[in-house]
Structure 1
Amino acid sequence: MNNNIHFVDIGFSNYVDAGKILTVNRPDSSPIKRSLQHAKEAGRFLDLTQGKKTRSIITQSSNTGLIFTASAVQTSTIMNRIRETEVKQSKRMAGKLIEKSVEVGNQ
């Protein structure tokens, strides 16, 4: 697996690449509703709520444009999960740097 891909759980065992997330919004604003309508018409909308109430809309970048994903998880929860993923990645990278510096020091 590519080391640059870090997945975030957005509910019901659905994951998205944290590195491609542009925004996490509440679904009740008019601009988001308009964007969702356009995304649905263009086939760029994923409903991952499993029939539950949509509590957040995740906007992601892709090679072909924006993708809008509906989630039943609150925006604050998703943001916390993204932060946790970033912290884990930082610790992992720091550990690798320490290992390399120890290897260099032992030579």
Structure 2
Amino acid sequence: MDIKLINIGFGNIISANRVIAIVSPESAPIKRVITDARDRGELVDATYGRRTRAVIVMDSGHIILSAIQPETVAHRFIPSKEGATDT
């Protein structure tokens, strides 16, 4: 199994294989998920005091808060084409 790590901002890195969803924190149900995870002790705040822009749901039940946009996190899952040659 190949382990892929994703930068979620400010030097914080998560395992791409364990991510279930990347969502925006704006809706009431997601806000409840965040509150529930905080109460359970399964919330990881990786925002460094900045505004939460992405909520990452892990397969372990942990919820990770990130200060970068969900689209940006999602694009980091796509392998880059750098170094590839057309022949």
TM, length-normalised to structure 2: 0.88
Secondary structure at 2:51's aligned position in 1? coil
Higher relative contact order (CA 8 A, sep 6+): 2
The question of 1:77 aligning with 2:75 is answered: no
* Structure possessing the higher radius of gyration over alpha carbons: 1
Instruction: State the partner residue of 2:2.
Output: 4
TM, length-normalised to structure 1: 0.72
Give the helix-richer structure, 1 or 2: 1
* Paired residues, number: 83
Residue identity (%):
31
Structure 2: distance between partners of 1:57 and 1:67: 10
Secondary structure at 2:35's aligned position in 1? helix
* Structure 2 residue runs without a partner (length 5+): none
Secondary structure at 1:5's aligned position in 2? coil
* Structure 1 residue runs without a partner (length 5+): 92-107
Stretches of 4+ aligned residues off by more than 2 angstroms = none
